[in-house]
Amino acid sequence: MMAPAAGRAACQISGTGLCVRDLGHRYRAGSGQGFALDGVSLDLPPGAVHCLLGPSGSGKSTVLRLVAGLERPSAGSIALDGQTLCDREHWIQPERRSIGLMFQDVALFPHMTIRKNVAFGLRTRDAAKCRRRVDELLVMVGLAAHAEKFPHELSGGEQQRAALARTLAAEPRLVLLDEAFSALDPGLRVEVRGSVLTILRQAGIPVLMVTHDPDEAIAEADRIHVIEDGRITQSGSVSQLYRSPATRFVAGFFGPVLRFRGCPEDGQLATPIGPIPVSRDGQQGVEVVLRTRDLAPVAAGKSPWRATVLACRDLGDRCRVELAAEGERLGDIHVPSSLAHRVGGEIGLAFDPGAMFVFPWPEGLNNSKNGGIPSRANH
């Protein structure tokens, strides 16, 4: 049994919304150690949209399954609107939790009309009340004109909204979305996701949304919980994650980055673009992460950092310049069209060292599973 992390308050019984504390779970593998979820805690207030974001296999769906009651945790507690759903002494069955689950596969009944599919989720069996409530829900999700159609007669986005109406029919206290929009094509995905989340926000229903796509989390979440290898490594708003990423993974969320690894000497890390000052020294290896959007072109020789122009593409108002250094492709930067760049020539690179991030490398140093707390370069 895992000990609760020190200093964390237990779930407040009087609190509203979802409260998860020190959740642990283990899957046994045939031979190896298996997967472990460890010390997962989060608070989700009513009407808020929180994202659980992590790479494939990091434990996102496991957290949702535990909250929904589809699996029983080995440690920790979950409470919803002040009611303990599970801890060492309590266990509420999944069908009694009033939690709506939406997956990528909308799973509408194919032999039922949209009206009947939505009515299936209702608690009441009073025919008049049923009809009124289904009409209300179909108006809410913009499908009033499709009530008598069958699922196969609806587009993917319309089916997703029908699934939302069916979920709302059950009056959930919480909605869990597990990669619910990833089957939709990109344009439709943004539109359907936006309308589904707007409806849930207006209904005041808290939403915990699982995704592996940072853009989705950045676009929709009030708060992002980053999960890596079964642990939450950072929770915060988009701007907190942008300004102070706690891990290498988070530092890469906001567009392309350059990563340089090695052991700094005399306060400098030797990199293909030139020596970069870092505050860590000695045996400790580091990874320096630099967002390419923070790189500005300057005349060669005007900066200690430089690269070779591999290619230059005119985009009208600006150029996309592909950079390389020491024979290695680095990435692209955008520069004003007025600054011509000769392919094969050198370009100087300027950046604010305060905008780069330094992490211990390799991961696992500093006795931390996630690679330790980063330090911003400080010069």
Residue ranges binding ligand ADP (CB under 6 A): 27, 35, 54, 56-62
For residue 346, the minimal CB distance to ligand ADP (Å) is 43
Task: Name the minimum Å distance from CB 25 to ligand ADP.
Answer: 9
- Of 28 and 152, the one with the shorter C-beta distance to ligand ADP is 28
Angle formed at CA 112 by CA 108 and CA 113, multiple of 5 degrees: 95
Backbone angles phi, psi at 339, to 5 degrees: -90, 95
Could you give the dihedral angle defined by the CA atoms of residues 303, 308, 311 and 317, in that order, rounded to the nearest 10 degrees?
0
Given the complex with ligand ADP, which of 37 and 196 has the nearer CB atom? 37
Nearer to ligand ADP, 27 or 91 (CB): 27
Close Cβ partners of 6 (under 8 Å, ≥ 6 residues apart)? none
Picking from 284, 266, 278, the residue whose alpha carbon sits closest to that of residue 363 is 284
Minimum separation from the CB atom of position 178 to ligand ADP (A): 8
Query: In the β-sheet with 257-262, what is the strand arrangement from edge to edge?
Result: 257-262, 285-291, 357-361, 375-376
Minimum Å gap between C-beta 155 and ligand ADP is 27
Burial classification of residue 64, based on how many CB atoms lie within 10 Å of its CB (0-12 exposed, 13-18 middle, 19 or more buried): buried
Q: Provide the minimum distance between the beta carbon of 235 and ligand ADP in the complex, in angstroms, as a whole number.
A: 16
Q: The tokens of 46 are what? A: 């009513």
> Which residue reads 């330094």 in tokens?
358
Terminus-to-terminus CA distance in the chain, angstroms? 45
Rank residues 158 and 229 by Cβ distance to ligand ADP and give the closer one.
229
Q: Measured from the CB atom, is 35 or 120 closer to ligand ADP?
A: 35
- Of residues 247 and 308, the one with the C-beta less far from ligand ADP: 247
Residue closer to ligand ADP by CB (options 54, 331) is 54
Q: Which of 66, 98, 339, 44 is nearest to 221 (CA)?
A: 44
Q: Minimum distance from CB of 209 to ligand ADP (Å)?
A: 12
Closer CB to ligand ADP, 54 or 245, in the complex: 54
For residue 194, CA distances in Å to 143, 161, 170, 219 come to: 16, 11, 21, 9
Give the shortest CB-264-to-ligand ADP separation in angstroms.
34
Q: Phi and psi of 325, rounded to 5°?
A: -150, 135
Q: Is 279 exposed, middle or buried (0-12, 13-18, 19+ CB in 10 A)?
A: middle
Return the closest-CA partner of residue 103 out of 25, 175, 190: 175
Phi, psi (rounded to 5 degrees) for 130: -55, -50
- Tell me the closest approach of the beta carbon of residue 94 to ligand ADP, in angstroms: 16
Q: How far is the CB of 71 from ligand ADP (least distance, A)?
A: 8
